[in-house]
Structure 1
Amino acid sequence: MSYQGNWVRRGEWLELTPGKVLTSQADREEATAKWLLETVEMPEKLLRKLQHSNGIQWRGDRLRLALFPVREAGIEAIWSELEVLYEDDFCLVVNKPAGMAVHPDDRGTDVTLNHAVAAYFEASGVETAVRHIHRLDKDTTGPVLYAKNEYAQLKLDEAMRQKKIVRIYAAIVQGRVSPDLKVIDLPIGKDRHHAQRRRVSLTGQTAITHVLEAEVYREASLLYLSLETGRTHQIRVHLSHMGHAILGDSLYGGYSVSFGRQALHGAKLIFAHPFTGEEIEVDAPWPEDLLQLKEEKSSKPFRR
């Protein structure tokens, strides 16, 4: 479990009042370390770091943890309008627009979401590193989760490894999807004929996509999907392989749409708060172009 009591941030410090469970202990230092590991579930790596740097202190009955040290962003701050979907002292979730990569690569100098988040932190007076927990393709819209301190990063990275962060996507695809299509369990590897493409390959990595819901129209379908694994282009590759390429996804055989990108949107993000354990559910509003495409396709219903 995670910490269930009251807490307050004071500058670089987080203050807790654990009560007699710790204040009554003869060896308070040892009891505190054990409590932080077992009850709060602090990552051991961070606990040792705080112990070494005097980052765990007592002030009367208040336990103080240096969880919010000043850190450089690690990337240039470049302003771009951001839609913030959720924020507290530990986490930030922003709605990524189409046409913007999450982080820079070696091939371009475009403004990325990380640049914009650095500028947002700077404008908000938040002095911390920019740490994204997961990514979206450049032309995919939806929520991206950021950790605002090392504690949150360690906990959220582990949650990703354990597949405890749920990402639900909406995709408008070619053709009428069968109601029997519930799970796509096909390995994905690189396409040796195309540097940017991936393909279903027997020698590839395990990849599992779940089809949660479907709305079937005359010439297309709206699918809600979740990922059990997070391979590059996983949804796009799986749906294309099943004969239902995402509309606008020219890389994987989807026929063109007026806005010239794949009709794929991260609709919902669900994760446990890294400190309190509370379930956080974040819905990301659909972009206008995708809403218009849905209206266009749904106006031609499929009748069995």
Structure 2
Amino acid sequence: MLDAPIQISIHDNWDGITAQTLFKDIWQTPKKQLHQWRMEKTVCKNEEIINWLEPLRSGDIITIKINHEQETNVQPNSIPCEILYEDEHLLIVNKPAGLLVHPNHDERNTLANSIAAYLQSKNDQRKVRHIHRLDQNTSGAILYAKHVLSHTILNKMLENRSIQRTYWALADGILTSNGQINKPIGRDRHHPTRRRVSKTGQAAITNYQVLECFPHDQLTFVQCSLATGRTHQIRVHMQALGHPLAGDLLYGGSPRFSRQALHARLLEFTHPFTLERIKVTAPFHDDPPIFDLTRYS
């Protein structure tokens, strides 16, 4: 399984361009990687060594003979793992609240351990890489790359903001209008893990939309989308707005819930190889259910 080739069918949009243009300009393959593949002749078109300057045609099959990097640092652990989307290029997983995304030392109770066990059950021991993270006590959809080329492309897409991430949250207090929070975020020198709004911090932009208000419970159901991806961004920005997330004790939220009421609800992007529009919604699994809105009034 580790030497399984990558296969990509040439889309109509790429008809007539050269392989060199596709790899270098459209997929933005790193020069070192592309040079290695060219020297080793590991890229084929329709089962023949590719001519990099020859025009591609719709329906051509590109094959990259690659030795996938084997996962050696993460021990498999059969923690339940909900797969929301999977193909040979990428993986989207619904992370439960309470799990770290990746072990810091020798932890075995992380999402990475769970995914390693899932892949092992399919006789696949390749190393997958997360494209973005979620805080330990935030739940929802996380995107992973399954090989080096998809990792490069998806990282670029995240940087270019062509991967839309939508979060649902319950904020303390009542917000009455939609808005944008544009405040830089930096480390809090008085606390090892906390972040804060800081003039010298990194640029951070969060757009928020009020979906529903619950005056009796003093809660507002908010949808947030990220134009940047700073650590704790939504949590810090909502605190700065004067409406910290319910359950988020680190940032002044009420102790209403056992964790911050934040869920990565939706991932949406154009698949880099099929050019299909991928739209994945992550269900909730809290018990008791934080996002069961019938609980509030």
Residues 78-124 of structure 1, C-alpha deviation per residue, up to 9 Å, x if partnerless? Answer: 22110000001101001000100101114x62411111111111111
Q: Which runs of 5+ in 1 are unaligned?
A: 1-9, 23-29
Match of 2:192 in 1: 195
> In structure 1, the residue corresponding to 2:100 is in which secondary structure?
coil
Task: Quote how far apart the aligned CAs of 1:270 are.
Answer: 0.8
Matching of residue 90 in structure 1 with residue 89 in structure 2: yes
Match of 1:284 in 2: 282
Q: Is the 8 A contact 2:183 2:205 kept in 1?
A: yes
Match of 1:174 in 2: 172
Q: Equivalents in 2 of 1:292, 1:63: separation in Å?
A: 45
Question: What letter corresponds to residue 223 of structure 1 in structure 2?
Answer: V
Q: Is the 8 A contact 1:91 1:152 kept in 2?
A: yes
Match of residue 33, structure 1, among 8, 11, 20: 20
Match of 2:235 in 1: 236
Task: Quote how far apart the aligned CAs of 1:164 are.
Answer: 1.3
Which one is further off, 137-146 or 73-82? 73-82
Matching of residue 149 in structure 1 with residue 147 in structure 2: yes
Identity score, percent: 36
Write the mapping of 1:242-257 to structure 2, written as runs, cut at 5 A: 242-257=241-256
Q: Is the 8 A contact 1:18 1:63 kept in 2?
A: no
Match of 2:36 in 1: 49
Write out the 4+ residue segments of structure 1 that deviate beyond 4 Å after TM superposition. Answer: 15-19, 60-64
Residues 153-199 of structure 1, C-alpha deviation per residue, up to 9 Å, x if partnerless? Answer: 000011111111111000001111021x4101111111111111111
Match of 1:72 in 2: 70
> In structure 1, the residue corresponding to 2:77 is in which secondary structure?
coil
Q: Is the 8 A contact 2:170 2:219 kept in 1?
A: yes
Question: What letter corresponds to residue 249 of structure 2 in structure 1?
Answer: S
Residues 188-213 of structure 1, C-alpha deviation per residue, up to 9 Å, x if partnerless? Answer: 11111111111111221111100134
Q: Equivalents in 1 of 2:231, 2:171: separation in Å?
A: 19
Match of 2:51 in 1: none
Question: What letter corresponds to residue 127 of structure 2 in structure 1?
Answer: A
Q: Equivalents in 1 of 2:65, 2:176: separation in Å?
A: 50
Q: Which runs of 5+ in 2 are unaligned?
A: 49-56
Q: TM-score, normalised by structure 1?
A: 0.83
Evaluate the alpha carbon distance shift between residue 91 and residue 296 of structure 1 in structure 2; reply closer, same or farther with a 3 A threshold: same
Q: Equivalents in 2 of 1:65, 1:195: separation in Å?
A: 47
Evaluate the alpha carbon distance shift between residue 44 and residue 240 of structure 1 in structure 2; reply closer, same or farther with a 3 A threshold: closer
